[in-house]
A and B are shown apart, each in its own frame.
Chain A
Amino acid sequence: MKYLVVECHKGYAVLLDENASFVNSANLGYEVGQTVFDPVLMDSGKIGTNRRIITVSRLLAAAACLVLVSGIFLYRRNNAVYSEITISDNVCMQVNRKGEVITVESLNSDGEKLLENYQAEGKNQLDATEEIIRKAIETGSIQDGDTVSLYVDTPEQDSFFDCKTEFEEHFRSKHDFKVNVKKYNNKNSTKSYVSSTSAPASQENTVPYTPQKNTAPPQENVTPPQKNTAPENTAPYTPQENTVPENVTPYEQDPDINSRGENFSDFNNETNEKNRNFSDSDKNNENHSDLPDRNENNENYNNHDNHDNNFSDFNNDINENYDNFYDSDKNNYRENQNQDFNQDFSPEYQENQGHHGGHSR
């Protein structure tokens, strides 16, 4: 290509090429009218092309990153374990965020039998749970009317409650079995539960209670009752018959947080500290039927797994009583609001009160 030098400046020259295009180039000592063949041209067109290529490359790179991130996000959403559901200590399901089963494994020989020729992967957690429970009914592991415990392990408290509600609503219409959804906090501890249905719990489904290591604090830490407070020979609380099975102390063995999000274990420990009668009651197993309130509370207590509110109410009652009992005015238990409670103690206690001039309100 021939270029005609039409204008010369200090730092550049204007050339006219054979395509009738005017271009700028470096002025390598040019003179007007000179014909040049290999000038150093301004990169206007080239740079535009490069810029376009760079822009397109950047857009492609950004698009590739977006696809990668989306892919990772979708993979995690679909394949990452979000929660675990353990069915009666036999089977454990790992579930993703969408509530779909990722994997299912057996925890014991019963579980192995249940999972024989059964594929739960990809199924909805509710459907898979129901299918496994129905299979357990078919094999005889569960009887009609039994309560099946589901232990749910989720990263967040809110998601546990959502899951619990979802399961309870789904299984409410099932009449051949019931489910009890609990939060599973510590994988290494033995889970336990309390049968909470009207039908007696089948022994086969009862997980024997194994006391946890960090439940009730040792007696040494219990603040000894102050003077004029609960006497040692106070009649202990005794549950009614056919209520709490032996060797089960729901307070202690249930560190879970109730449906209201209250820290149950701390409350229980506190109650146990103050209420030696309560802990003694199981051992003595005396009938405390003179306490209508207490009896009512016993029923509530027995049903506490199904109706956590009642359990909390019961505890609140106890706590209320003992708040009054261990009032700030500890020297004068006459301030005790629940005189009936005090009066319902053993005759010996009442007699003693009488010797001390009794107490009056």
Chain B
Amino acid sequence: MDSDSIAKRVSLAKKDSKEADRLIQDYMPFIKAETSKFIGRSAGDSDDELSIAMFAFYEAIKKYSILKGSFLKFASLHIRHRLIDYNRREKRSQGLVSLDTPISEENDGLSLADTVQDGSDPYEENELREATRQEIEHLSEQLQDFGLSFADISDNAPKQQRTLEACRKAVVYAKTHPELLEELLRTKKIPLGKLSEGAGVERKTLERHRKYMVSILLIYTNGYEILRGHIMKILKGGGNT
């Protein structure tokens, strides 16, 4: 595949998460080869380094431009940098013993985690996780009605604290005015004018992060208690980044 076609595919993958997935799948041999080169052995599917390399490949897709030269060279550099960072991070936690370490050499399935006393109930945790998963799936379906996916929302989400704060103010205003949320569900459109006027936030800011605003406002409609509970900090006046 020549460099021009790769560049075209990369530019498509920037906007379309499915195309990005396809590109990663097509270039798995390349990603595996780069990982193996770094770790000095053949990279398996279960290796964290391979996951890091795939993530680095996805990052390269997002950051690539033709001015940076060949995409594969750019991606190769990016993969290497990511693996180096991951290596350093892992070295910091060296000396720590994993809770998954088996207790005995016999393959009886018992690990250190089983011996540690913990107040939490694993069954509860599993149930909580399952419920969370269902809420997220439901939200994902609702977002599809708006023509959105979580990948699109993550690209559109505000990165600066100042902008995040402005969006938080708009969400707090919408929470105290449920009619705005109803309008959102009914019209499938955000009432940006009323929100910006009521919350005292620039309309341009809300427009720039429209996709993100849709997802957060949807979370504040009925049925998403777990997700609302997760982002309670935003209602308490912002949190740590």
User: Which of A27, A32, A42 contacts B59, CB < 8 Å?
Assistant: A42
Across-interface contacts of A21 in B (CB, < 8 A): 157-158, 164, 241
- Distance of B205 from chain A, by nearest CB (Å): 15
B158: min CB distance to chain A, Å: 7
Output the nearest chain B residue to A32 by Cβ-Cβ distance: B133
Q: List 19 A-B contacts (CB under 8 A).
A: A4-B136, A6-B136, A9-B58, A11-B21, A12-B54, A14-B154, A19-B231, A19-B233, A19-B241, A20-B171, A20-B219, A26-B54, A28-B52, A31-B133, A32-B136, A32-B137, A40-B89, A44-B159, A45-B159
- A29 beta carbon closer than 8 Å to chain B: yes
Q: How far is the CB of B76 from chain A (nearest CB, A)?
A: 15
Q: Which of B46, B54, B131, B238 contacts A11 (CB 8 A)?
A: B54
Interface bits A34-53 vs B (CB < 8 Å: 1, else 0): 11000010111101100000
B55 and A11: CB pair below 8 A? yes
Q: Chain A nearest CB: distance from B129 CB in Å?
A: 5
> Is B215 in contact with A22, judged by CB distance below 8 angstroms?
yes
Instruction: Pick from A2, A12, A23, A42 the residue with the most CB of B within 10 Å.
Output: A12
Q: How many residues of A contact B (CB 8 A)?
A: 35
Interface size on B, residues (CB 8 A): 54
Contact of B149 among A7, A25, A28, A31 (CB under 8 A): A7
Using known A-B contacts A4-B132, A19-B164, A24-B154, determine if residue A40 contacts B52 with beta carbons closer than 8 Å: yes
Query: SS class of chain B's interface: helix, strand, loop or mixed?
Result: helix
Closest-CB distance, B146 to chain A (whole angstroms) = 15
Chain B neighbourhood of A14, CB < 8 A: 150-151, 153-154
Q: Which of A11, A12, A42 counts the most B-chain CB atoms under 10 A from its CB?
A: A11
Whether A199 sits at the interface, judged by CB under 8 Å, is no
A33 in the interface (beta carbon within 8 A)? yes
Measured CA separation A20–B171 after assembly (Å): 11
A169 within 8 A of B: no
Write the chain B residue with the least CB distance to A42: B59
Q: Which of B20, B134, B140, B171 contacts A7 (CB 8 A)?
A: B140
Which B155-211 residues have a C-beta within 8 angstroms of A? Answer: 157-159, 164, 168, 171
- Judged by a CB distance under 8 angstroms, whether B48 is at the interface is yes
Q: Report the nearest A residue to B46, measured CB to CB.
A: A29
Q: Which of A259-297 contact B (CB under 8 A)?
A: none
For A4, list chain B residues within 8 Å (CB). Answer: 132, 136, 227, 230
Mark B residues whose CB is within 8 Å of A: 17, 20-21, 24-25, 46, 48, 51-52, 54-55, 57-59, 62-63, 82, 86, 89, 129-134, 136-137, 139-140, 149-151, 153-154, 157-159, 164, 168, 171, 212, 215-216, 219, 227, 230-234, 238-241
Q: Do A18 and B239 touch (CB < 8 A)? A: yes
A-B contact count (CB 8 A): 121
Chain B residue contacts of A45, Cβ below 8 A: 159
Residues of A within 8 A of B240 (CB): 1, 19
Q: Report Cα–Cα, A207/B63, bound state, in Å.
A: 80
Q: Give the dominant DSSP class at A's interface.
A: loop
CB distance from B48 to the nearest CB of A (A): 6
Choose one: A28, A33, A35, A44; the contact of B130 (CB below 8 Å).
A33
Q: Is the CB of A23 within 8 A of B55?
A: no
Using A11-B57, A27-B55 as known contacts, say yes or no to A19 and B25 having CB atoms under 8 A apart.
Answer: no
Q: Which residues of B contact A1 (CB under 8 A)?
A: 240-241
Min CB distance B30 to A, Å, is 12
CB within 8 Å for A26 and B52 given contacts A20-B231, A45-B159: yes
**A81: Cβ under 8 A from any B Cβ:** no
Flag if B55 contacts A26 (CB, 8 Å).
Answer: yes
Q: Which residues of A contact B57 (CB under 8 A)?
A: 11
A257 contacts chain B at the CB level, 8 A cutoff: no
Q: Contact at A27–B238, with CB atoms within 8 Å?
A: no
B159 contact set on A, CB distance < 8 A: 44-45, 48
Which residues of the other chain, B, contact A48 by a CB distance below 8 angstroms?
159
